[in-house]
Structure 1
Amino acid sequence: MTLEVTTTPVAVPPSRAGALQALRRGQGLAGVILIGVIALAGVFAGVLSAYDPLVQIPGANLVGPSADHWLGTDHINRDVASRVLTGIRINLLIVFAAVPLGALIGSLVGLAATVNPIADVTAQRVFDLILAFPTLIFAIALAAITGPGWHAVVIVIVAAEIPIFGRQIRTAVLAVREQPFVEAAEVIGADTWWTLRKHVLPNVVEPLVVQFALSLSVGVFIEAAMSFIGIGVRPPDPSLGSLIGDSIANLEHNPFMAVGPLVVVAGLTLGFLLIAQALGRARRSV
């Protein structure tokens, strides 16, 4: 007599330890430190600089770097270092508000697309329409309609991230749904939403985390680019992009007007990219 034993495959949740370990060494640690230092500089801008970023300093027109003004002053007598530090805060506030919102909306749309064929076709056509327009062209068109400002930056970043997260979660969900443990759950009568919540979503979180870190770096660039061409954060509020734009006409007198914000934008972008690469490598090694 032969006994046949069958087992039902179960979902194995993604390893969080691998992701955390990736951020404690190598590229991941370098990215965390880089972002942490820049973010702390923005948070404590008022402590690190003795000057108000909006106040004009008498007799300090395009002064070079000194002990009093680390990056000198601009063409209307404002301390550049204090404006860069405040610009960090504004940039990160916009990015950390817009990217999660875009990720949430895109993920919900992507999930809905996997449940209903009509919703799937509609979502894919909307994603195609959004992706058909270059981001800056879309930003210029939006600013022409709603007017420039931080709200335009938020809308552009959200719109840019919706199709990215929507398609990524749709692809991941469709792939995971073909796994034996999901088929087993459906065979025993589990409904679609229960299967998505208990089996599918825990297995698609890791690629979304990697994409989230990558999207943060893109958000930094979009905010800086929009402010650089004058359709982002409006003067007199400082923005990293607008600071770079203001420096172009004054490079001969104080080149540090450009060096400061350029270094910060490069540091933020590089930091988020290092984190995304470390998380991606950890995910592939599992």
Structure 2
Amino acid sequence: MQGTRTAAAPVADPLGQQARRRATGLRAFFARLMGTRMAPVASFIIALLVLTAVFAPIIAPYGVEEGDFAATLTRPNREHLMGTDTLGRDIFSRVIYGSRVSLQVGVIAVGIAMIIGTAFGLVAGYTRIGLLESTIMRAMDALLAFPTLVLALAITAALGPSLTNVMIAVGIVGIPGYARLVRGQVLSVREREFIEAARTIGVSDLRIMLRHILPNVTAPLIVQASLGVAFAILSEASLSFLGLGVQPPTPSWGAMLAFGKDYLNHAPWMAIAPGAAIFITVLAFNFLGDGIRDALDPHLHR
């Protein structure tokens, strides 16, 4: 008797389906992001800034401390696109190298604030333990009671003027914003059905926070981080302008702006170049943050 042949059942591939859905979602997100008004321009400026910082030794026509005393306070020309300062140093080269400091502060300071603030917000929003939650949130309220720049100034003055201390100070100042944002999102997510189902089957609280709640609160975190980079760059420039940031001979846009303000009548290009770099960079990150917010808002792209 000849046995009947049966068709093989298809093998389920849930991981592959999830990967395809994730890729489709990312493509849709980038399509919406590029469809916003200023996001493409801002993305181009930020990409150009990153490439400039990475390849600064190749792009910069002169060394960061290379001076020509025969060409001090030279107006912008073909040899010196943004002119020179009182020591004959090429301002264009120093602006290029200064982008490294700004991006480094922006990324690391936001990373410090986001990691610590997210951890505090998750614990305070999920555990709802009276003493623990009250202690965390009252500490965040105490930090928010101080003006951000004044608090960063006080922390940097206490630790000492340096690039590392500037990143720490700006990161500490940004922690309360992330903690309050995450806590508010967790309070709404923790009462949903899939969280109750996870508790019912015995999933640990730490796993629920990291695997079930955190992925559902990342969208506002991404928006906050993109806007926070602009704040960190502006804070670093302010601290360097006041002499508590990056110390010479390391070039910084804020320090260059502070040095050039005394020559506004005789050599305005010394202040215009770093000031324009700060303005364009901060504006680009703000536009990108607005574009990400619009792309992630379901009410806008539905």
**TM-score, structure 1 length as denominator?**
0.89
Q: 2:70 is paired with a residue of what secondary structure?
A: coil
Preserved CA contact (<8 Å) 2:152 2:170: no
Partner of 1:221: 234
* 2:75 is aligned with 1:64: yes
Partner of 1:77: 88
Partner of 1:265: 278
Residue 195 of structure 1 and its aligned partner are, at CA, apart by 2.4
Residues 200/140 of structure 1: CA separation in 2 closer, same or farther (3 Å cut): closer
Preserved CA contact (<8 Å) 1:172 1:204: yes
Partner of 2:183: 170
1:222 and 1:187 map into 2 onto residues whose CA distance is: 46
Identity %: 33
* 2:198 is aligned with 1:185: yes
**TM-score, structure 2 length as denominator?**
0.85
Preserved CA contact (<8 Å) 2:98 2:251: yes
Partner of 1:149: 162
Residue 182 of structure 1 and its aligned partner are, at CA, apart by 2.0
Partner of 1:29: 40
Residue 140 of structure 1 and its aligned partner are, at CA, apart by 2.7
Count of residues paired in the alignment: 275
2:198 and 2:155 map into 1 onto residues whose CA distance is: 46
Q: Which amino acid aligns with 1:51?
A: Y
Q: How does 1:1-286 map onto structure 2 within 5 Å?
A: 15-26=25-36, 27-113=38-124, 114-115=126-127, 116-285=129-298
Query: Rg bigger for which structure?
Result: 2
Residue 184 of structure 1 and its aligned partner are, at CA, apart by 3.1
Preserved CA contact (<8 Å) 2:151 2:173: no
For residues 55-87 of structure 1, give each alpha carbon's deviation from its aligned partner in whole angstroms, at most 9, with x where no partner exists: 221211111001111111111221111111110
Q: 1:23 is paired with a residue of what secondary structure?
A: helix
Preserved CA contact (<8 Å) 2:72 2:88: yes
For residues 230-264 of structure 1, give each alpha carbon's deviation from its aligned partner in whole angstroms, at most 9, with x where no partner exists: 11001121101011111111122222212211221
Residue 33 of structure 1 and its aligned partner are, at CA, apart by 0.6
1:227 and 1:271 map into 2 onto residues whose CA distance is: 21
Higher relative contact order (CA 8 A, sep 6+): 1
Partner of 1:7: none
2:32 and 2:236 map into 1 onto residues whose CA distance is: 28
Moved more, 126-135 or 113-122: 113-122
Q: Which amino acid aligns with 2:234?
A: F
Preserved CA contact (<8 Å) 1:22 1:29: no
The alignment's C-alpha RMSD in Å is: 2.0
Preserved CA contact (<8 Å) 2:33 2:292: yes
Q: Which amino acid aligns with 1:40?
A: L
2:203 and 2:160 map into 1 onto residues whose CA distance is: 49
